Amino acid sequence: MRLRGKTVVVTGAARGLGRATAVACAAEGADLMLLDLCGDLPGVPYPLGTAGQLAHTAALCGRGENAVTTAECDVRDLRSVEEAVALAQDRFGRIDAVVNNAGIAAPSGKPVHEISEEEWALMIDVDLSGAWRVIRTVGKAMSARRSGSIVNIASTAGLVGYRHFAGYVAAKHGLIGLTKAAALDYAPAKVRVNAVCPGSVRDDTVVEGRMLAEIARALEVPVGEHEHAFTEAQPMNALIEPEDVAAAVVYFVSDDSRQVTGSVLTVDGGFTAR
């Protein structure tokens, strides 16, 4: 129970890695504030998490003695983020950790010169600026308390390039840069900021993930063949499981990593080692 007594905020918690992370934190005893947009976004060509899925995540997390609260939150809107963080502070009295997981994989699937300004702005706003808004909102209180952990869910796309994914790659590279800069800003206050870079994560039905299928769609890889295609690109010859990424997040949230900040941990089966 490494997280007993800690309050953890998870964005994008309705499904996928957000749900896997929330469940893993709950298993370690954390109280949770689970946030999600709970709706679709114009310009994103696939359905996003729903209020029902967020409620299901909460149900999976609330089977122990820990407390779980949910709220709708749009990371594109600073006021929405501030209101959600205020709810967490009112409910639990403090926020010990934040997991910036909210993100989108598309609009993607085209060369740079075909990306519209609106598509570019949407990707950056959600995947990079959304994390900045959350950090901006929690940073002052964490600094004043001289304690806290912020974990940004980046991607191997934050370390290498991917053809036809310029917006996503730029946003995730930016997120790693934000991680390192924020780590230096908050180090004197003992607030840690780290990033996890997942590789190709299997779309597990328990967490209702669909990111890998959407990446395959953008690359025009047949959905029925995409897992095999992505597995072939993995040095360990296996897709990453959601719980593998969640375990890395728990490490960063816990006191096991109390002297770790500004770090980028890959969970990619060796993909970026080549």
Q: What's the Rg (C-alpha) of the chain?
A: 17
117: number of Cβ within 10 Å: 7
168 counts as catalytic: yes
* 100-114: b (≥16 Cβ within 10 Å) or e: bbbbbbbbbbeeeee
Q: Which of 46, 162, 168, 251 is catalytic?
A: 168
H or E stretch including 191?
Answer: strand 191-198
- Alpha carbon distances (Å) from 271 to 55, 103, 191, 217, 234: 34, 21, 30, 21, 6
Q: Are 227 and 200 in contact (CB under 8 A)?
A: no
261: its two tokens:
């900040």
Q: Which residue spans within 31-137 are E strands per DSSP?
A: 31-36, 68-72, 97-100
What is the set of active-site residues? 168
